[in-house]
Amino acid sequence: MDDSLELILRKYPVLESSKEKLERMLEGTYCLHASWGFGKIKSYDATLDRFVIDFEDGPKEHLMTPEFCIRKLEILDPQHLLVRFYQDPDELRKQIKEDPITVILQMMQENHQTEIVASEIERNFKPIIGIATYRSWWNRTRKLIADDERIHPVEGNVNTFTLCAEPMNTAIELLQQFDLYRDPVSKIAVLEKVLHLSDEHRQNMIPHIPVFIDALQVAIAKDSQLPVAKKLQACFIRDHLLQMQGEGAEFVEPSAKSILLEANHNLSSIVEQLPPHYTSQFLDLVACVYPDEWEERCAQLLKNSTGKFTSECVLFFIERGCPEVVAGYFARWLREHTLKAPVLYWILKNRHARRFADVIDEHLIGIELLRTVFRTVDVEALHMTGNKRIPLAELLSKDYNLIQDLLATASLEEARDVAQMLWMSHGFNALTKKSLLARFIKIFPQIQSLVMKDVQQVAEEQNSLKVSQESLEIKRKEYEDLISRRIPENKLAIQVAKEQGDLRENSEYKMARQDQEMLLALKAQLETDLAHAQVINFEEASTEAVSVGSTVKLQNCETQKIEEYSILGAWDSNPDKNILSYQSPLGKELMGKKVRQVISRSEDHDVSEWTIEAIGRWIDSQSH
């Protein structure tokens, strides 16, 4: 820019007073125009004596003279709210949701403000948060401001907020609160705030550290009612305080390591109760406590993780040089149908991220993952209350390349099956289904017929379950055991846990409620399955084409290997005996096929072709 700046100033001497602003108008710098809004400076064309600017909601590659730029453009710093939103909207929305006060303070600092009015916050944040949710966000944020030590409403004007004029008051107030509170949980909360003071004011706390540590030691060692997560938080705070006064914490007992060893608690339930900024430290602790089985335990934490903690778990494995371990677990959970919605969302969201390329294997992004998405969305929709959003459904709708990526290696039959899943899904409204099906049709035009198919016919095909009498009795017994024993036992467990006190810190209560959700989901699924069960005795199976009740002999077209399968009811699957459900992938592939027809099978990412050599009746094989 130096040469260009010299040329500009030579031609426009009047701009000498605006030299500082011109120096900031570099290639890639973001700007704001009163009419055209947010823009980005692409370059300066010395031949035309014009800046070339792309506007987000205005003209592209627009030419503007330096003089006009100085008068009409606001040059934005890299940390400006709009720049951050443009570069990573999801991350900024997340920060605004999790820590709105810090984002507001950052904006004030950016604009060199000591005061800010509510209307200015609304003007900046509403486009990012969304008109529909801004009001509820602001009501929550206003309450947080009331409890925050860094900013407070101006006296007599509840819509104007100012930075605390005397930061030292915060430290004094914390000391007063610490002396006032008697219960360990409140003292821990106060000391957490001490750690977040500025360096200058933390130094003023050093003379009080011995008293702080004594209180924490009492809470850790003697308070048996304190949850494990709170004891660990107290240990982490104590160790930070020791470091503040230049002491090591390696040999101080009880240590976080000894607490975790003695607790023998479910690690996922502990991490749920820890403040988010300690979760990374918790992963290090788990690896230290369980040196021989840290991979398995941290993988379990990853499996049950949500939000930012999912990324922390993955990065923890990457930093230890074993991304392939995570890739292996992802593939395994996909096969076992145990991928949970938050982790599934993370995989889809980060499928193109470079730093996770060794974790998200290219074979993972495929048709089976799409099936899992639809199954998961359906389960969440089944148990959804009110207007609660389903993040996976939103991602599938908003990410226009997602279906294309997941169908990249799919066959027409696979795509048709998954399109039917979408058509019958409870997690999408009719308009969204049509929009998503259009993306299927763009890749597989043959699926167009599915859209034209009678909806009632599709529903009947999808919902009807052909089952044997024996498997139906097993399902009925499972349902009876659920409603007569497992659900009542869980109800009692919830009642007992409630009597133990504060529900916010009651891990037993939370686990019992999680069990309740699982049991009620299972109850709903069993009721749906039993309602659609249709008992058959396999006598109607023919030898002309594969149907429910057929035996099929297959020959590998390349190796000549022979395999024989029985295709039975929805709940009769027994892989050890080569008995398949007609709803299994291979079962679906075989249904309706005739002798000498060739089918494709996918196993461990390898596709092989098999010829149907013979079709028999399973019921005939049982009479011998």
Partners of 54 in beta bridges = 40
For residue 310, what pLDDT is reported? 93
For residue 119, what pLDDT is reported? 86
Partners of 151 in beta bridges = 163
Last residue of a domain, one of 76, 94, 113: 76
pLDDT tier at 506, thresholds 50, 70, 90: low
Last residue of a domain, one of 449, 476, 501: 449
What confidence tens digit (pLDDT) does each residue in 29-65 have?
Answer: 998 887 787 889 998 888 888 899 998 878 888 998 8
The closest alpha carbon to 260, from 283, 241, 277, 237, belongs to 283
Give yes or no: residues 487 and 568 share one domain.
Answer: no
Asked if 30 and 24 touch (Cβ cutoff 8 Å), the reply is no
Give yes or no: residues 436 and 556 share one domain.
Answer: no
Give yes or no: residues 363 and 475 share one domain.
Answer: no
Query: What distance in Å separates the CA atoms of residue 205 and residue 184, rounded to the nearest whole number?
Result: 19
Asked if 273 and 281 touch (Cβ cutoff 8 Å), the reply is no
For residue 485, what pLDDT is reported? 92
CATH (domain of 522): 1.10.287.180
For residue 364, what pLDDT is reported? 92
Give yes or no: residues 304 and 406 share one domain.
Answer: yes
pLDDT tier at 604, thresholds 50, 70, 90: low
For 300-314, 363-377, 487-501, which range has the lowest pLDDT when averaged over its residues? 487-501
Does the residue 207 lie in any domain?
A: no
Place of tokens 């610490």: 178
The closest alpha carbon to 503, from 262, 182, 276, 227, belongs to 227
Residue 486 has pLDDT above 70, yes or no: yes
Please state the rounded mean pLDDT for residues 453-477.
72
pLDDT tier at 362, thresholds 50, 70, 90: confident
Look up residue 76 and give its DSSP letter.
Answer: P
What confidence tens digit (pLDDT) does each residue in 145-180 have?
Answer: 877 777 878 777 778 888 875 544 567 777 877 888
Give the DSSP letter string of 319-368: HTT-HHHHHHHHHHHHHTT---HHHHHHHHHTTT-GGGTTTS-TTTSSHH
Going from the C-alpha of 325 to that of each of 141, 336, 365, 448, the distances in angstroms are: 40, 16, 17, 41
pLDDT tier at 277, thresholds 50, 70, 90: confident
The β-bridge relationship of strands 62-64 and 579-581 is unpaired
Residue 519 has pLDDT above 60, yes or no: yes
Query: What distance in Å separates the CA atoms of residue 372 and residue 369, rounded to the nearest whole number?
Result: 5
CA dihedral 526, 530, 533, 536 (to 10 degrees): 100
Enter the tokens of residue 317: 């494995």
Partners of 75 in beta bridges = 31
Give yes or no: residues 483 and 570 share one domain.
Answer: no
Residue type, 523: K
Half-sphere exposure of 367 (CA within 13 A, CB side): 18
b vs e for 316-330, b when ≥16 Cβ sit within 10 Å of the residue's Cβ?
bbbeeeebebbbebb
Query: What distance in Å separates the CA atoms of residue 43 and residue 28, rounded to the nearest whole number?
Result: 8
Does the residue 274 lie in any domain?
A: yes
262 versus 329: which is more confidently predicted?
329
CATH (domain of 44): 2.30.30
For residue 455, what pLDDT is reported? 44
Query: What distance in Å separates the CA atoms of residue 170 and residue 149, rounded to the nearest whole number?
Result: 6
3-state secondary structure of 12: coil
Give yes or no: residues 280 and 158 share one domain.
Answer: no
Does the residue 193 lie in any domain?
A: no
- To which H or E segment does residue 37 belong? strand 37-45
Q: What percent of the chain has pLDDT over 70?
A: 92
Does the residue 186 lie in any domain?
A: no
Computed over its alpha carbons, how large is the radius of gyration of the chain? 31
Residue 244 has pLDDT above 60, yes or no: yes
Query: What distance in Å separates the CA atoms of residue 494 and residue 491, rounded to the nearest whole number?
Result: 5
For residue 373, what pLDDT is reported? 92
Question: In sequence order, what are the residues at sequence separation of 6 or more whose Cβ sits closer than 8 angstroms to the Cβ of residue 545?
Answer: 592, 593, 594, 615
Please state the rounded mean pLDDT for residues 594-618.
82
Name the domain count of the chain.
Answer: 5
Asked if 93 and 139 touch (Cβ cutoff 8 Å), the reply is no
Give yes or no: residues 317 and 259 share one domain.
Answer: yes
Give yes or no: residues 299 and 390 share one domain.
Answer: yes
Q: What percent of the chain has pLDDT over 90?
A: 22
Q: In the predicted model, what is the mean pLDDT of the chain?
A: 84
For residue 329, what pLDDT is reported? 93
CA 472 to chain centre: 37
For residue 383, what pLDDT is reported? 66
CA 44 to chain centre: 42
pLDDT tier at 309, thresholds 50, 70, 90: very high
What confidence tens digit (pLDDT) does each residue in 393-419 have?
Answer: 999 988 989 999 999 998 888 888 888
The closest alpha carbon to 594, from 615, 571, 624, 621, belongs to 615
Last residue of a domain, one of 61, 76, 91: 76
For residue 452, what pLDDT is reported? 52
Give yes or no: residues 339 and 414 share one domain.
Answer: yes
Most confident segment among 235-249, 291-305, 578-592: 291-305
Asked if 57 and 38 touch (Cβ cutoff 8 Å), the reply is yes
For 252-261, 307-316, 433-442, which range has the lowest pLDDT when averaged over its residues? 252-261
Give yes or no: residues 45 and 13 share one domain.
Answer: yes
For 96-105, 360-369, 412-421, 461-470, which range has the lowest pLDDT when averaged over its residues? 461-470
For residue 213, what pLDDT is reported? 83
Query: What distance in Å separates the CA atoms of residue 297 and residue 305, rounded to the nearest whole number?
Result: 12
Going from the C-alpha of 384 to that of each of 119, 344, 412, 513, the distances in angstroms are: 35, 18, 32, 16
The β-bridge relationship of strands 465-467 and 533-535 is parallel
Does the residue 170 lie in any domain?
A: no
Place of tokens 């230049």: 246
Give yes or no: residues 581 and 526 share one domain.
Answer: no
Does the residue 238 lie in any domain?
A: yes
pLDDT tier at 384, thresholds 50, 70, 90: low
Does the residue 171 lie in any domain?
A: no
Query: What distance in Å separates the CA atoms of residue 419 and residue 425, rounded to the nearest whole number?
Result: 10
DSSP collapsed to 3 states, 179-193: HHCCCHHHHHHHHHH
For residue 327, what pLDDT is reported? 93
Please give the residue range of the domain that contains residue 520: 467-535
Task: Compute φ and ψ for 7, nearest 5 degrees.
Answer: -65, -45
CA dihedral 147, 125, 380, 489 (to 10 degrees): 0
CATH (domain of 592): 3.10.50.30
For 96-105, 241-250, 409-418, which range has the lowest pLDDT when averaged over its residues? 241-250
Asked if 563 and 576 touch (Cβ cutoff 8 Å), the reply is no
Asked if 49 and 10 touch (Cβ cutoff 8 Å), the reply is no
- To which H or E segment does residue 474 belong? helix 469-481
Give yes or no: residues 232 and 340 share one domain.
Answer: yes
Query: What distance in Å separates the CA atoms of residue 418 and residue 367, rounded to the nearest whole number?
Result: 8
pLDDT tier at 476, thresholds 50, 70, 90: very high
pLDDT tier at 454, thresholds 50, 70, 90: very low
Does the residue 6 lie in any domain?
A: yes
pTM comes to 0.51
Enter the tokens of residue 533: 């069960």
The closest alpha carbon to 529, from 462, 458, 619, 596, belongs to 462
For residue 169, what pLDDT is reported? 58
